[in-house]
Structure 1
């Protein structure tokens, strides 16, 4: 996804982004890595954020990268790992077509791309859509206070 932000230099976009990300994380130095004026990578963890059903709620470990050019921010597709602990560790994959006898591996989608967990799909979409919306809103705000 590319956000068009005309007439804003990549340096300003980078700085505004860095300020924003530093403001939303409890320990920014543990979450943010960057190459000045080029890119920012966020590696975050959210406990109990993705629901597969009313019984399974997964922690999400995610990574998302923002790249900067004059007038543009490119947001690369996020990567994530979803895990939960009940009797044993469980992993929720985007697509999982193999049968898991002990329930350690589950899928949002199964064979033939059949949706197995609409709730998990929706939770992921809501999280990332809100994340990008809040980021975009903060970048276009006037800095005067």
Structure 2
């Protein structure tokens, strides 16, 4: 995974983790971020993911997202009146690769809870969990053999 792709992927996983940690019931009125995250995908907010004063980083993330769309790692949802990306849906293979690469930086219970709260991610959880657990077992076995 290229550095810019990984940087964007890390932001997407972080958004899922944050969503998993939020107590949605505490929000009296659903916000557009909560509703969008639950129903449509991860809101596409490259300005938030980059330093607001760093236009180059924002453009790097936008270009990385376009490359990932072209590779099929991300799917984009657009606004009805124009072609602007409003939400991103990561492919489950892409999420698996990202979580593996992030390792202990990902709080997996929050990550899984974030997916569980979404209409679009709920069906991915079982496959992602089993694949990530397989990789942990394979890594542990390899480490054991190398001793």
Measured against the shorter chain, the TM-score band is under 0.3
TM-score for the superposition, normalised by structure 1:
0.24
Higher relative contact order (CA 8 A, sep 6+): 2
TM-score for the superposition, normalised by structure 2:
0.24
User: Normalized per residue, which structure has more strand?
Assistant: 1
Select the structure of larger CA radius of gyration. Answer: 1
User: Normalized per residue, which structure has more helix?
Assistant: 2
